[in-house]
Amino acid sequence: MVVLENDAVRVACEPDVGARITSLIDRRTGRDWLVSGTQPRTTAAWAAEDAVFGGAEAFGWDECLPTVARCPDPADANAPALRDHGEQWGRPTDVEATDDRLVATWTRSRWPLRFSRTITLAGAAVVCEYELVAGAGQAMPVLWSMHALLALEPGSRIVLEPGGHARVTHQEGFPLAPGLQTVAWPGGAAALDMVRGVDARRAAKLYLDARSLTRVAARATDGSELQFAWDRAFAPTLGIWLDFGGWPPGESRHQVAIEPTTSADDDLASAIAAGRARILEPGTPQRWKVRLELATASRDP
């Protein structure tokens, strides 16, 4: 494990399992904003091509690329399906750590991609600078999603202003009409913005157009917030994952994810079919930023 910290924030990173961020701690309050979990006994347990991102693997903060859900390989119909939750998680990753930054570089991929994330701290903010480059050859479609699983107690809220219509790709247990594909956030009686206990046995995945959102945050019951800002030109969509004991079947998991992403789709094949995949031109870097601000209750308006 390598650590980056200042007086306000402590970030811990595990290079051997995909440069996963395993804790994001506000040192002023002691709150860890990320779901905790147990690392595998050996790195090989998560590194396999057919590894599944299940309940035991669902904690911390990973990067999903070039897909989230498993799907056929659009570059080769005869190749194995693209890996569940992408190529990066659970695999040894090059991490350069200095006093003021963590640089993770992913190059172990079936596709000729070079992906990097540089994390620096600015007071109570975690600043992530990303770069993605496709190698020589033809243009490549990708789907990227930031995948930070947040630890929020019941009664916490997801703050999206001014709201909007959300595309629903999965839901279990929420009072939504069967087969409903869109819902006005926060969903009326469904109260999608309210964090519930694990005994609610509910789960849902939704996507909103982020270009109209002026405020995105997870707000804890004590008034503290984890605030999100990012480059909407590269990632115009916001994914919301709600799991209050509804996934996976038979397990009691509790997690919320606020996911800047390039597409309102769960997998790359669907994004391509909908014309929403991000296209990488060979040798032309794509760069974008994500900023996470840790705000204590005393700083809230």
Q: How many residues does the chain have?
A: 301
pLDDT, one tens digit per residue, over 187-235 is 998 999 999 999 999 999 999 999 999 999 999 999 999 999 999 999 9
Return the CATH number at 295: 2.70.98.10
Tell which residue, 94, 91, 86, 202, has the closest CA to residue 147: 86
Strand arrangement, sheet containing 9-14: 2-5, 9-14, 20-26, 61-64, 145-150, 254-261, 237-244, 202-209, 164-172, 182-185
CB atoms near residue 127 (< 10 Å): 16
Token pair of 8, please?
């306000």
Residue 251 has pLDDT above 80, yes or no: yes
pLDDT, one tens digit per residue, over 27-86 is 999 999 999 999 998 888 899 999 999 999 999 999 999 999 999 999 888 999 999 999
Give the residue numbers spanning the domain of 216: 2-299
Strand, coil or helix: what is 268? helix
Residue 153 has pLDDT above 80, yes or no: yes
- Rounded to whole angstroms, the Cα distance separating 52 from 68 reads 11
pTM value is 0.95
Strand, coil or helix: what is 198? helix
Residue 301 has pLDDT above 50, yes or no: no
- Rounded to whole angstroms, the Cα distance separating 297 from 124 reads 13
Residue 247 has pLDDT above 90, yes or no: yes
The answer to whether 127 touches 291, Cβ cutoff 8 Å, is: yes
Residue 300 has pLDDT above 60, yes or no: no
Angle 241-24-211 (CA atoms, 0-180°, nearest 5)? 45
116-138: average pLDDT: 94
Could you tell me if residue 298 is left (phi over 0), alpha (psi between -120 and 50 degrees) or otherwise beta? alpha
Read off φ and ψ for residue 263, nearest 5 degrees: -155, 145
For the chain, the domain total comes to 1
Token pair of 162, please?
């001014």
Tell which residue, 21, 49, 34, 151, has the closest CA to residue 110: 49
Residue 255 has pLDDT above 90, yes or no: yes
Could you tell me if residue 134 is left (phi over 0), alpha (psi between -120 and 50 degrees) or otherwise beta? beta
Share of the chain above pLDDT 70, in %: 99
